[in-house]
């Protein structure tokens, strides 16, 4: 089962290592990881997407809570949270394909941020399903490069 963990941590060095170690020490691969400051500069939020059985994730969550630098942990379930990811994708273009590509970008409210003679760089934001659909469509044009922020999330309430 896939879990989205939102972790508030003290903004100190070593925090990321401590948290990553809890996963790696159990043989778990982190799918995505995002770290950034919150409105309080002494506190950062990490959003971690990880696959694992519920019992092990429960154990990891409890271990996270024991870390001195961890202030709060929340394991989001479906519907409880709003999530977004930002993707920059560089797609091969030609005179023939450019119009169609721009049309798709319109539908997805994606932004073209750079145009070169043989490629375009597109910025798209959205939740998981939108992003995966968009990337799927881009594959037909030829993806040359791709960079994702990983999921960020906030609880609804």
Partner 1 sequence: MGIGSISIQLPTTKEGTVGPEMSGADCVVASLEKEGVTTIFAYPGGASMPMHQSLTRAKSLRTVLPRHEQGGVFMAEGYARATGKVGVCMSTSGPGATNLVTGIADAYMDSVPLVAITGQVKKDMIGKGAFQETDVFGITLPIVKHSYLVIDPREIPQIIKEALLIARSGRPGPVVIDIPKDVQQAVFKPFFPTSTGLESKLAPPPLDPSLPKTILDWIEKAKRPVLYVGGGIISSGAHLELLKFAERTNIPVTTTLMGIGSFPENHKLSLKWLGMHGAVYANFAVDQCDLLLAFGVRFDDRVTGKVDAFAPKALIVHIDIDNSELNKNKRVDLAVLGDIKEALSKLNQLIDETKWHPPDFSTWHEEIQAWKIKFPFRYRKTEAHILPQMVVEEIYKLTRGEAILTTGVGQHQMWAGQFYNFHHPRTFLTSGGLGAMGFGYPAALGAKIAIPDATVIDIDGDGSFLMNIQELATAVTEEIPVKAVILNNQHLGMVVQWEDRFYDSNRAHTFLGCPNNKKRIYPDFPQICKGFGVRAERVTKPEELVPALKRMLEAQEPYVLDVIVPYTEHVLPMIPAGMTVKDIIIDND
Query: Interface with partner 1 by CB under 8 A: which residues?
Result: 6, 8, 10, 13-14, 17-18, 21, 25, 38-40, 42-43, 55, 58-59, 62-63, 65-69, 71-74, 155, 157
Smallest gap from residue 67 Cβ to partner 1 (A): 8
Please say which residue, 65 or 94, places its beta carbon nearer to partner 1. Answer: 65
Backbone angles phi, psi at 141, to 5 degrees: -80, -25
| Residue with token string 């906030």 | 154
Please say which residue, 46 or 124, places its beta carbon nearer to partner 1. Answer: 46
Please say which residue, 51 or 62, places its beta carbon nearer to partner 1. Answer: 62
Q: Which class for 86: exposed (0-12), middle (13-18), buried (19 or more C-beta within 10 A)?
A: middle
- First CA to last CA distance, the chain: 23
């Amino acid at each position: 089962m896939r879990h989205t963990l939102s972790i508030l941590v003290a903004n100190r060095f070593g925090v990321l290592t401590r948290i990553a170690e809890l996963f790696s020490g159990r043989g778990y691969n982190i799918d995505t990881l995002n770290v950034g400051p919150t409105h309080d500069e002494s506190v950062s939020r990490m959003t971690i997407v990880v696959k694992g059985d519920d019992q092990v994730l429960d154990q990891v969550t409890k271990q996270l809570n024991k870390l001195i630098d961890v202030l709060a942990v929340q394991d989001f379930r479906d519907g409880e949270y709003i999530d977004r990811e930002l993707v920059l994708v560089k797609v091969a273009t030609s005179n023939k394909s450019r119009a169609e590509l721009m049309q798709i970008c319109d539908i997805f409210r994606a932004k073209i941020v750079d145009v070169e003679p043989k490629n375009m760089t597109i910025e798209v934001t959205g939740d998981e399903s939108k992003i995966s659909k968009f990337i799927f469509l881009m594959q037909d044009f030829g993806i040359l490069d791709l960079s994702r922020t990983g999921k960020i999330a906030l609880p609804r309430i």
